[in-house]
Amino acid sequence: MASIGVNMAKKETAQLTGECERPIGTQSGGMDQAISVMAQSGFAELIDFNPIRATDVQLPAGGTFVIAHSFAESQKAVTAAVNYNNRVVECRLAATVLGIKLGMEPQEAICSVKTLSDVEGLCISFACTRGLSDPVLAVEER
């Protein structure tokens, strides 16, 4: 961006680059773009969206990541609807069902739940009402 005289914050750049795949039909969250822009040497990054943000996670001494190129091409403009977007829809449906299971009215869940983050608070509340510290165990019990 600097090469064309544009100065943008890393968060804005990550958001913009994540949105750039959508015109070809990919309902991308932008994880690849976010880590490419927001990475810090010596840290892994916990990436959250809506709004986009990154939290540094210190790597253990001697920890190493191996990044490899598979040389496999993905024709997202051709295959997005089958290979990628179906998974996005499945995750949205699962989050909606979980919201309903945890006490949301169906219409409210359908209108407001888009990601698992949208029902995370319900999971925690549900666990607390059952005296459990792990929301996953609480939901499994239900």
Asked about 134 being catalytic, the answer comes back as: no
Can you say how many angstroms the Cα of residue 6 is from the centroid of all Cα atoms in its chain?
Answer: 27
Q: What is the DSSP string of 71-127?
A: -----HHHHIIIIIHHHHHHHHHHHHHHHHHTT--HHHHHHH--STHHHHHHHHHHH
The answer to whether the CB of 109 falls within 8 A of the CB of 99 is yes
Q: Specify the amino acid at residue 72.
A: A
Choose the catalytic residue: 32, 48, 56, 134: 32
Sign, CA torsion 21/27/30/31:
negative
Give the catalytic positions in this structure.
32
